[in-house]
Each structure stands twice: as C-alpha cells, then as structure tokens.
Amino acid sequence: MAKPSGGGGGGLLDLEGHYAFYGAYHSNPVNVGIHELFVWPILLTAFLLLHLTAPFAHAAGIGAAVYGTYYFLLDRRAGALAALLCFLCWAASGALAARLGFSVGWKVVFVAQLFCWTMQFIGHGVFEKRAPALLDNLVQAFLMAPFFVLLEVNFCVAVVFWLPCCLRLIDNKITSRQSCLFQILHTFGGYEPYPGFHDKVSKMIEEARKEWEDKNSKKSS
C-alpha cells in the first residue's frame, strides 16, 4: 500500500512520504497552479493575523521559525530557500501590521484568506475532482502546503532560467507532478535530495492515486 494513503509517511522528517501524500492530492496542473498562486499569501496573512491579534509578542516570528526550521530539516537546499521565504513573510506581515493597524488589517486578512481558500477549493472541486489533503490530515496539509508549492515552482529560479528550463523540461519529458525546484536543480546541477528521490516519489504518487480511484470505483459500482 502506498504511503500517502496512510497519512503521508513514516515520520515527521520523511520527505518522500510527505511529498507523495500531498502530491497525490495535487496532480491536475490547473489545481497545482492555483496552489502556487495562493498558498504563500495564506501563510503571509496568517502571520499578519498573529501580529494583529496574538496574546503575546513575537508569535508570528515563532510561527515563521517553526515552519522554516522544519523545512530546513526536510531538505537543506530547498529548505533554506523556504526558510528565507518564511522570514520574508514574517517581515512583510509585520510591516503591514504596523502600517494598517488592527481596524484595517483584520479586513485585509479576512478578504485575502476567504479569496485564497475559495480558489483552492475551486481547484480541488472543479479541476482535481478530489477533496483537499487537509480533510485527511489537517496538520500535515498545513505544514507541507507551502513547501510543496515551493518545490513545484521556484519563482526566483524560474524567472532567471525560464526559457532554458522550459526547453530542458520538454526535452527530458519531466512530468508536472515532480517538484519544479528539484527539477531545475536536477536539470542544471544533477541535484536530488537523495538518489532516486524523483522516481520513488512519482511511483508513490501514482500508487496512491490508483488506490484512491479504485476505492471510488468500488463505491460507485
């Protein structure tokens, strides 16, 4: 049985299991694109809410540190970039909180969260046609969502290497299910978190989706 169906892997730092668990719920390219656009704004505005309402100081900083440290422990290279983005989200949310104040800030949080979550549910319902991962494992889904998105498409690297990356991806027939950041690092520098990561995770995702499809077909029959 594939790891993802059991909740995502064998341990807190099981990158293969966590990535495959989350990836099994995000194989449609439109749904993946929606998540790429809206997951990190959700994290940023969550930090903004902590700046505005947390009962103790530095709550947002602690949250950013927890996320960043966890991502770094999952994979040092991609995790370092994720940790940097968490820090930037914390810094930006702090600046927004100071500028907007509570009376305006909470409205910004409400509108942003409502819009971003609505778009993600549309992505799952209309395009993926599968319930979000958070309905099966809430904690894991919230922890992995920003990191999964970062692995799917790294905006900084994508801007620099956009054209050559696209050409190499087409030539190598790399599937959309694999991590774009890992794809770029692997394509240009032979990088993988560890040998065989891409092949193992792709197989796990395929097995998990096949298991889910088989269960659905049995229910409908």
| Residue 153 confidence (pLDDT) | 59
Query: 68, 82 in Cβ contact below 8 A?
Result: yes
Structure token pair of residue 103: 């009376």
- Residue 26 pLDDT class (50, 70, 90 cuts): confident
Structure token pair of residue 93: 């949310």
Residue 18 scores a pLDDT above 70: yes
Average pLDDT (6-22) is 74
- Residue 10 pLDDT class (50, 70, 90 cuts): low
Average pLDDT (190-214) is 77
| Residue 167 confidence (pLDDT) | 45
- Residue 1 pLDDT class (50, 70, 90 cuts): very low
Cα four-point dihedral sign 208, 210, 213, 218: negative
pTM for the model stands at 0.75
| Residue 221 confidence (pLDDT) | 64
Of residues 221 and 125, the one with the higher pLDDT is 125
Average pLDDT (90-119) is 97
Poorest-confidence range of 29-38, 61-70, 181-190? 181-190
- Residue 217 pLDDT class (50, 70, 90 cuts): confident
| Residue 21 confidence (pLDDT) | 86
Residue 66 scores a pLDDT above 60: yes
Q: Which residue has the tokens 């927004």?
A: 96
